[in-house]
Amino acid sequence: MLEIKNLKAQIEDNQILKGLNLKVKQGEVHAIMGPNGSGKSTLAKVISGHPDYQVTEGEVHFEVNMKQKNLLEMEPYERAREGVFLAMQYPIEVPGVSNFTLLYTAFNEICKHQGVEEMSESDFRKFVEKKCQIVGMNPSFLDRSVNEGFSGGEKKKNEILQLLVLNPRVALLDETDSGLDIDALRVVSEGVNKYKNSHNAVVLITHYQRLLDYIEPDFVHVLYKGKIIKSGDKTLALRLEKEGYDWLIKDIQ
Amino acid sequence: MSENQTKNNFQKNDYKYGFVTDIEVDELPKGLSEEIVREIWKRKAEPDFMLEQRLKAFRHWQTLTEPTWANVNYPKIDYQDIRYFSAPKKKENSPKTLSDIDPELLKTFERLGIPLSEQKRISGVAMDVVFDSVSVGTTFKEDLEKVGVIFCSISEALQKYPDLVKKYFGKVVPFTDNFFAALNAAVFTDGSFVYIPKGVRCPMDLSTYFRINNKETGQFERTLIIAEEGSYVNYLEGCTAPQYDSNQLHAAVVELVALENAEIKYSTVQNWYSGDKDGKGGVYNFVTKRGLCEGRHSKISWTQVEAGSAITWKYPSCILKGDNSIGAFYSVALTNGKMQADTGTKMIHIGKNTKSTIVSKGISADHSSNVYRGLVKIMPSAENARNYSQCDSMLVEDNCSAHTVPYIEVHNNSAVLEHEASTTKISADQLFYLQSRGMDQEKAISLLVNGFCKDVFKELPLEFSVEAVKLIEMKLENSIG
Task: Give residue B136's pLDDT.
Answer: 54
Domain extent for A147: 2-252
Cβ-contact B82, B217 below 8 angstroms: yes
Residue A208: per-residue pLDDT: 87
Which of A49, A79, A95 has its CB closest to that of B451? A95
Contact call for B435 and A92, based on CB within 8 A: no
pLDDT tens figures, B94-110? 444 555 555 665 666 56
Interface test with A, best of B359, B424, B426, B432 (most A CBs within 10 A): B432
Say if the Cβ atoms of B435 and A75 lie within 8 Å.
yes
Stated as kind and residue range, the H or E segment containing A227 is strand A227-232
Taking residues A9-37, what's their average pLDDT? Answer: 93
Instruction: Give the confidence band of A45 by pLDDT, cuts at 50, 70, 90.
Output: very high
Residue pLDDT, tens place only, B148-171: 999 888 988 999 999 999 999 999
pLDDT for the residue A62 = 92
pLDDT tens column, A50-93 = 999 999 999 999 988 888 889 999 999 999 999 999 999 999 99
Is the CB of B437 less than 8 angstroms away from the CB of A102? yes
Mean pLDDT of B443-450: 85
pLDDT at B201 over 70: yes
> Which residues in chain A are closer than 8 Å to B454, comparing Cβ atoms?
96
Q: Does pLDDT of B142 surpass 80?
A: no
pLDDT score of B454: 86
**Residues A51, B428: C-beta atoms closer than 8 Å:** yes
What pLDDT was estimated at residue B243?
A: 64
Is A50 exposed, middle or buried (CB count within 10 Å of its CB: 0-12, 13-18, 19+)?
Answer: buried
**pLDDT exceeds 70 at position B2:** no
The predicted structure's pLDDT at residue A74: 93
| Lowest-confidence region among A52-56, B22-26, B260-264, B361-365 | B22-26
β-bridge mates for residue B217, sequence order: B83
CA of A50 vs chain B CAs: smallest distance (Å):
7
Report the alpha-carbon distance of residue A182 to residue A172 in Å, rounded: 21
B409: exposed, middle or buried (Cβ count in 10 Å: 0-12, 13-18, 19+): exposed
Query: What is the model's pLDDT at position B122?
Result: 38
Q: What is the pLDDT of residues A221-242, one digit of tens each?
A: 999 999 999 899 999 988 888 8
pLDDT for B123 beyond 80: no
The domain segmentation of chain B, as residue ranges, is: 19-314
| Strands lying side by side in the sheet with B205-211 | B134-138, B125-131, B205-211, B232-240, B263-270, B299-306, B326-335, B355-364, B386-395, B416-425
Query: How much is the pLDDT for A33?
Result: 93
- Residue (of B391, B385, B392) closest to B417 by Cα position: B385
pLDDT at A28 over 80: yes
Q: Do A96 and B443 touch (CB under 8 A)?
A: no
Please judge whether A86 and B436 are an interchain contact, meaning their C-beta atoms are less than 8 angstroms apart.
yes
Predicted local confidence at residue B13, as pLDDT: 47
A209-213, B162-166, B247-251: range with lowest mean pLDDT: B247-251
How far from A121 is each of A83, A103, A104, A130, B437, CA to CA, in Å? 22, 11, 8, 14, 18
CA distances for B205 relative to B149, B180, B202, B223, B464, angstroms? 12, 29, 7, 16, 11
A124 contacts: CB under 8 Å, gap ≥ 6: A103, A104, A107
Contact present, B313 and B370 (Cβ < 8 Å): no
Phi, psi of B29 (to 5 degrees): -65, 165
Using CB atoms, pick whichever of A76, A95, A166 lies closest to residue B435: A76
Interface with chain B: mutation pick from A11, A105, A114, A147, highest number of B CBs within 10 Å: A105
Bridge partners, B239 (sequence order): B210, B270
What integer pLDDT is reported at residue B10 of this predicted model? 35
The number of domains in chain A is 1
Residue B23: pLDDT band (50, 70, 90) is: low
**Chain A residue with Cα closest to B429:** A92
Residue B73's pLDDT is: 86
Nearest Cα residue in chain A from B426:
A94
Do residues B434 and B406 lie in contact, with contact meaning Cβ atoms separated by under 8 Å? no
pLDDT, tens digit, for every residue of A102-123? 999 999 999 999 898 889 999 9
Q: Tell me, what's the pLDDT at A96?
A: 84
> HSE (CB half, 13 Å, CA atoms) of B345?
34
Chain A residue numbers with beta carbons less than 8 Å from the beta carbon of B453 are: 96
CB pairs under 8 A between A and B: 76
In this structure, are residues B341 and B465 in contact, taking their beta carbons and an 8 Å threshold? Answer: no
**Tell me, what's the pLDDT at A44?**
94
- The residue in chain B having the minimum alpha-carbon distance to the alpha carbon of residue A111 is B438
Which pLDDT score is estimated for A58?
Answer: 94
Percent of chain B surpassing pLDDT 90: 45
Distance (Å) from the alpha carbon of B8 to chain A's nearest alpha carbon: 28
CA gap B368, B475 in Å, rounded: 13
Query: Does the structure show a pLDDT above 80 at A252?
Result: no
Closest CB to A94: pick one of B438, B440, B451: B451
How many CB atoms are closer than 10 A to CB B335?
33
Return all residues near B2 (Cβ < 8 A) that are at least 6 apart.
none
Q: Is A80–B437 a contact, with Cβ atoms under 8 angstroms apart? A: yes
List chain B residues with CB under 8 Å of A91: 433
Predicted confidence (pLDDT) at residue A249 exceeds the cutoff of 70:
yes
Confidence check: pLDDT of B436 > 80 = yes
Nearest CB neighbour to B433, from listed A79, A92, A110: A92
Shortest CA gap B206–chain A (Å):
30
Q: Could A109 and B435 be called an inter-chain contact, meaning their C-beta atoms sit closer than 8 Å?
A: no
Query: Is A178's pLDDT higher than 60?
Result: yes
Q: With an 8 Å Cβ cutoff, are A95 and B439 in contact? A: no
**pLDDT given for residue B94 in this prediction:** 44
What pLDDT band is residue B248 in, cutting at 50, 70 and 90? confident
Which residues in chain A are contacts of B451 at CB distance < 8 A? 94-97, 101, 145
ipTM rounded to 2 decimals: 0.94
Tell me the shortest Cα–Cα distance from B391 to chain A, in angstroms.
Answer: 15
Which of A97, A118, A174 to probe by mutation at the B interface, max B CB count within 10 Å? A97
> Taking CB atoms and an 8 Å cutoff, what residues of chain B touch A166?
437-438
With a cut of 60, say whether residue B391 has pLDDT above it: yes
- For B75, counting Cβ atoms within 10 Å of its Cβ (0-12 exposed, 13-18 middle, 19+ buried), the class is exposed
Domain with residue A246: its CATH number is 3.40.50.300
Most confident of A152-166, B11-25, B208-222, B391-405: A152-166
Across all residues in chain A, what is the average pLDDT? 92
Contact B186, B61 (CB under 8 A): yes
Mutation for testing the B interface, residue in A42, A71, A88, A94 having most B CBs under 10 Å: A94
Average pLDDT for chain B: 83
Whether B433 and A88 lie within 8 Å, measured CB to CB: yes
Q: What is the DSSP letter of A147?
A: T
* Residue that wins the pLDDT comparison between B463 and B138: B463
Residue B93 is predicted with a pLDDT of: 46
The whole-number pLDDT of residue B400 equals 86
* pLDDT surpassing 70 at residue B43: yes
Kindly determine whether residue A109 and residue B438, on different chains, have CB atoms separated by under 8 Å: yes
pLDDT band of B118, cuts 50, 70, 90? very low
**B9: pLDDT confidence band, cut at 50, 70 and 90?**
very low
Mean pLDDT confidence for B237-262: 83
pLDDT (tens digit, 9 = 90+) per residue, B340-382? 899 999 999 999 999 999 999 999 988 888 999 999 999 999 9
Residue B429 has pLDDT above 50, yes or no: yes
Residue A29 pLDDT: 95
Say whether pLDDT at B22 is over 80.
Answer: no
What is the structure's pLDDT at B216? 64
Residues of chain B found within 8 Å of residue A51, distances taken between Cβ atoms: 428, 432
Q: Is the pLDDT of residue B132 over 70?
A: no
Q: Note the pLDDT tens digit of each residue in B51-99.
A: 999 999 999 999 999 988 888 888 888 899 888 887 766 544 444 455 5
| Average pLDDT of the segment spanning B199-225 | 81
How confident is the model at residue B206, as a pLDDT?
Answer: 85
